[in-house]
Structure 1
């Protein structure tokens, strides 16, 4: 019997997603991001639990470990995990666009590499091995929406929707020091708290969705967004990607408008990373929002209102049941959606497809 599930791990304001699928009785896993540094112990606790329950021959294998981009709330937990990698953890491939994937070969040297790149090489782990490398020698090639789909062991099909090549070129212009990636651009003032983002919330009927202003962050534009297909179910993991780039990736990889069964909403529910064009394209009724809301008070009210304007009574799934997300437990009745929260004492919200 097949199984396809996503566990959104509680790593504060960051992202860390464990995707699991079963083929012929064998459970396989894909880990996407590790959250920021301090909550990384939560990620390890979850992996330890999965290792005990689902490991094979005393080991837990990640078919792929994806690092979507260089923002600290996605990458620091991965660095922590690799710096003290458990002996029982096996990693089939790491997908990550480093400095060497952005620059022409004549600008690279054998000593160049940032912290994560050095860790990958020190541990001797495969790196972008699933993607063609147009350069001689070295690791695999850059990950972008133009590459062919990848089918992982057990039949999980992966299509890259973001970044596009212009996004990688834009990041290359600001990543000028091979030893140090550009700083996390953080969240602009207009994205922190909109003028209406105050509790108690108004009735939805009194709410007006404002105009859309797109995210302009170069690291976010370089985010790896993935479309996963398994057993006729589709999951879109949008990382912090830009709506326009994800939409163009969908047109490239899924031109016939097939429905998406779960969207991991981009940028923790920021109103600047999801637009109506994207929602119209995916025909989705289940939305995952990954954040504690503690730092930037995501998700934005505008984003929730946008999801409802396109859907009648969707599921909106939060990986935290307290704090800013937990306030949605007491939403006015006019906000017509099914709010889903983690089970008590769980370190993640568990979504079965």
Structure 2
């Protein structure tokens, strides 16, 4: 069984399609996040609606009579869930394409801690006129999942290890404390922390390395992000969503990994679109890989940060950094960077990855 991973073009967000045949030979599909609304549908330069990669994937699966066997929503920031919300609003048959959803909702977290649910913990789908339900405003996302028997209501946290479709998922984020923080702050979208709004591409890799001072992401939402290791047939891949690096490092150490004995991975989906606040040397030392994936077109928050990429290259001079928007490569890296670090490569992620 080959597991194929495709990093869809999701503008400033994440939308990851994992495709494989299970041990019985049946084709399976896992979708991790849905990007922002534009990942489903956007207006082109002529002002006409155009299908995004998420909508194209949905059409492809329908044409092949396939399903999304598992949908994992890492957290509720718009650049991860907006595309799914737009899909559900526009497509009344969406519920028939999805078999199972894993999602740490505000209601579920409230129940776990024995706290009373509040309106701030609800994620609304807005106008429900497109659904096969009574016509009403503000259908709740959790209600939609529950009414259509899509949601297991399983709380995902860093002590979980689940087996599904013949492989193992080990969750490295969030921990229980990160989830509890959401009880006091639960919104659709929050500002990125430690990001100035201006790119840092004017500095060389060498200057970024010399001037590097690490400040960790403090976003409550990002701290709640689901991150996991996918393991199959002795091989591993790491998907970090927007997880905090200290949280992931602590979990990896609790699993027995160390600087001397790191987790060997085929590839790492870098946390938070390559933000400098979500990748530390401490984390990089615990994951042994040559392939690092960046999911972002930089149209919001100007991610990835070159300082993050410099940290990766300084840690691993033979790093292969893959971009789902390869046009970012000449914008970020200059001749002086390649001269100083001749063994690193900046590559397109468009052909996907195999585990």
Distance 2:194 2:251 in 1: 29
Given the alignment of the two structures, is residue 295 of structure 1 paired with residue 277 of structure 2, yes or no? no
TM-score by length of structure 2 reads 0.81
Give the CA RMSD over aligned residues: 2.5
Structure 2: how far apart are the matches of 1:281 and 1:203? 22
* Aligned counterpart, 2:287: 282
Secondary structure, aligned partner of 1:14: coil
2:191 matched to 1:144? no
Superposition map of 1:264-343 within 5 A? 264-322=269-327, 324-328=328-332, 331=335, 332-333=337-338, 334-335=340-341, 336-342=343-349
- Is 1:78 paired with 2:84? yes
Q: In structure 1, the residue corresponding to 2:38 is in which secondary structure?
A: coil
**Matching of residue 94 in structure 1 with residue 101 in structure 2:** yes
Please give the secondary structure, in 2, of the residue aligned with 1:61.
coil
The whole-number CA distance in structure 2 between the counterparts of 1:244 and 1:87 is 37
1:241 aligns with 243
Q: Is the 8 A contact 2:293 2:321 kept in 1?
A: yes
1:219-230 superposed matches below 5 A: 219-230=221-232
How many matched pairs? 317
Who is 1:198 aligned against? 201
The 5 A counterparts of 1:182-221 are 182-188=187-193, 190-193=195-198, 197-199=200-202, 202=204, 204=206, 207-221=209-223
CA distance in 2, matches of 1:150, 1:252: 17
The aligned counterpart of 2:11 is: 12
Which of 123, 133, 156 pairs up with 1:114?
123
Distance in 2 separating the partners of 1:204 and 1:125: 53
| Structure 2: gaps of 5 or more residues | 42-51, 125-140
Distance 1:126 1:286, change over 3 A: same
Gap runs ≥5 in structure 1: 130-139, 176-181, 343-347
Distance 1:209 1:89, change over 3 A: farther
Does the 8 Å contact 2:14/2:295 carry over to 1?
yes
Q: Is the 8 A contact 2:276 2:308 kept in 1?
A: yes
TM-superposed CA distance for 1:23, in Å, is 3.2
Call closer, same or farther: CA 1:164–1:77 in 2, change over 3 Å. Answer: same
CA 1:265–1:206 in 2, change beyond 3 Å: closer, same or farther?
Answer: closer
